[in-house]
Chain A
Amino acid sequence: MAEIGLRSISKSFGSTEVIKSLDLSVSNGEFITIVGPSGCGKSTLLRIIAGLENQSTGDVEIDGNVVNKTRASERDLAMVFQSYALYPHLTVQQNLMVPLKLRRLSFLERFPIIGWFMPNRSSKLDEIVSKVQAASETLQITHLLDRKPGQLSGGQQQRVAVGRAMVREPVAFLMDEPLSNLDAGLRVHMRAEISELHRDLKTTFIYVTHDQAEALTMSDRMAVMMDGEILQLDTPHEIYNNPSTIRVAEFVGSPKINILKGECDEKGNLNCFGTKITDSIKLAQKGNVSVGIRPEHMQLVSSKDKNVIKGKIVYRENLGSDIFLHLTVNEGEQKIIVRSEPSNVINTAVGDQVMIGWDEQKVMAFDVDGENITMQ
């Protein structure tokens, strides 16, 4: 268990700045997710924490000690790679034994042939085998111990990779998109398993992903990272409901939040293309704004008894549990998505003209710089 701190970390490859003066504190036993689009620098950040990459400036701290000069192998962190990086020539059992052998056996005990004659080797090996046995029972992979990684399915390889990380009880786990090579069903299942593992081990987890669903479901706190910066660091609930900027709002949530051009006047009236969106919202400033309404906070309404937007259905996406209606509004100028219960929209078809209402309490507004100016 460990606290991990990043103090104004930056990283450049040549003239490209990948990470820009980034600070992050991860507390003991916390599950923190770093989520962002491809190329935002999140994997580089994880490799810097691991010690596989050197930061250009700044400090990495583990339990308050600066470890900038400590090699990856001596930081006592474990990492699960996207490709699992299992040793293909070793069986599952041998794979799980590698980290323990490298740490517990001396150089001579590990040396080919000479090692066989070292006195303490066999007792140490017995200990290692029993550790491996215990870890494989936890992960339910005992029946796979004699197989080679090439004979395992993706999900099984993933378990072995996790097993290799946990067998030596590291102070923290680093996970670099560990689920992105799995099929959709297995990914959802492994999400739950990794969360459970975190509850059991009570160790610090730093989990990197581009999948916001993984971030939202698994983490205690999540950091949304873009262009080498952390835009917002908060609980999944806060990030979803109160994004700090329009980029965070657009990145988190599926389908994407609807953004409409609007303006607000002195009285707190928020209008989009001539329609009043709300008059109860409190905003920090007046003028042109971007209005954000999540798809599930909009619905089709039947009458004109309150403020509505007229739209035309251009596409109907049926997911079984929900239907996503893709609509054009403002005379076809803008597109929005409305998420509905199937029973509410059973009679609609592509090409229909419909009225759209929304939940005024959930409307968000962002200024021209993209900052959230909605006041709670």
Chain B
Amino acid sequence: MTKSRSHIWFVSPAVLLMVVILILPVFVAGTFSFTDYNLGSQDFRWIGWKNYESLGKFSSYKKMFTASLTYVVIVVPVSVLLGLGSAMLISSLSFGGEFYKTVFFLPVMATLLAMAYAWEFTLDPVIGVINKFLDDGCSVGWFYKFFTGSWLGINPTESWYGGLCNDRMPNWLGNKKYALGSISFIGIWQAFGFNMVLYLAGLTSVPRELYASAEMDGANSTWEKFKLVTWPMLGPTHVFVVTITSIRSFQVFDTVEALTRGGPSKSTYMMVYAMFEKGVKQNLIGMGSALTIVFLGFVLILTLTQVYFINRKVHYS
């Protein structure tokens, strides 16, 4: 019997494309990361682990890891919990759900770069609507009382808001204290609508009878039913949402490039922005490649964790 080789012809286009546009570039980047290659130059030198060593040596790279990890640690839990909360609220609505879905999903559909410019105007220290609003709030009695905490007996001038009223409103993107928080806020604003849609899909797959069964077993509050049914039944969704949000948070670039360019004093110097700055702007292909490989490592860890959890922990059969 002759063995057919037609399967090779069927898979070869896909395999070839994958090798050429995905796997090969990774190997190229891996190779370049051990060189001091500059784009356009005729030759390069092998410099071993030097690029990687400088990642641990220079303070700007340490700041890069701090900024990236802080961003992930803020954006992932907040946007995941907001996504879950809004999905549960929307799925409990008898009407109007479609409206809220659309509203919350709009930031996902909009181009982040364009939205970043819109945020730049909103957050502008002088003409921005946020500072205008906060400024006007200083003269509104109840608003001032509420946000200074004077209704709790706190001295209003010692509180954060009270201090701003006496001085001036913050420069959200230009101040080291606020820049990463502002970028994170935009990240959350952009990401949670996507998580909400994933959770809405997850919620529809929770069998209705489990809620009836929980009620019969004595779960008479929403909290008990959430603990007993909703949260565990969303297991696969949690893993997927957390992984995808983490990867997307590591990838943050548009807002940094448009709003802060990594500053002030590298407080928003994220990994992908660093890759872009080193590899493209400063033409240091070797260094950029090393950053890429480290970045890939992070994503790989996240993905492998997801695969492990999906296979072992959250599929209950």
**Chain A interface (Cβ < 8 Å from any Cβ of B):** 47, 50-52, 71-74, 77-79, 81-83, 85-90, 98-99, 102-103, 110, 112, 148-151, 164
Contact = CB atoms under 8 A, between A and B. Distances in A.
Given A89-B316, A149-B316, A71 B209 contact: no
Nearest to B316: A88
Given A87-B232, A98-B228, A149-B316, A81 B213 contact: yes
B106 interface: no
Interface residues of B, number: 21
B219 A102 contact: yes
25 contacts: A51-B215, A52-B212, A71-B215, A72-B215, A72-B216, A73-B215, A73-B217, A74-B220, A79-B216, A81-B212, A85-B207, A85-B209, A86-B213, A88-B316, A89-B233, A89-B235, A98-B214, A98-B228, A99-B218, A102-B219, A110-B224, A148-B316, A150-B317, A151-B317, A164-B217
B207 A99 contact: no
A164 B215 CA distance: 13
B209 A83 contact: yes
A360 to B, nearest CB: 50
Interface of B: 207, 209-210, 212-220, 224, 227-229, 232-233, 235, 316-317
A94 to B, nearest CB: 10
A52 B215 CA distance: 8
Contacts of B229: 87
Nearest to B232: A89
Contact of B216 (A77, A87, A88): A77
- Pick the most buried of B217, B218, B233: most chain A CB atoms within 10 A of its CB: B217
A363 to B, nearest CB: 45
B234 to A, nearest CB: 10
A102 B217 contact: yes
Contact of A78 (B212, B216, B220): B216
Nearest to A170: B216
Nearest to B210: A85
A87 B219 CA distance: 13
Contacts of B227: 112
Contacts of A81: 209, 212-213
Given A78-B216, A151-B317, 12 more contacts: A52-B215, A52-B216, A71-B215, A82-B209, A85-B210, A87-B228, A87-B232, A98-B214, A98-B217, A99-B217, A102-B218, A150-B316
Nearest 3 Cβ contacts at the A-B interface: A150-B317, A102-B218, A85-B213
B239 to A, nearest CB: 13
A79 B216 CA distance: 7
Contacts of B212: 47, 50, 52, 72, 79, 81, 85
Nearest to A98: B217
A176 to B, nearest CB: 9
A254 to B, nearest CB: 29
Nearest to B213: A85
A164 B235 CA distance: 23
Nearest to A167: B217
B218 to A, nearest CB: 4
B219 A73 contact: yes
A101 to B, nearest CB: 9
Nearest to B314: A89
B217 A71 contact: no
A79 B213 contact: yes
A47 B213 CA distance: 11
Contacts of A150: 316-317
A47 B212 CA distance: 9
B317 A73 contact: no
Nearest to B216: A79
A98 B317 CA distance: 19
A73 B316 contact: no
A152 to B, nearest CB: 10
Output the residue of A89, A98, A164 with the most chain B CB within 10 A: A89
A74 B224 CA distance: 14
A78 B212 CA distance: 11
A103 B316 contact: no
A73 B213 contact: no
Nearest to B209: A85
A52 B208 CA distance: 11
A47 B219 CA distance: 16
A102 B216 contact: no
A150 B317 CA distance: 4
Nearest to A85: B213
B125 to A, nearest CB: 43
Nearest to A79: B216
Contacts of B218: 73, 99, 102-103
A17 B316 CA distance: 39
B187 to A, nearest CB: 29
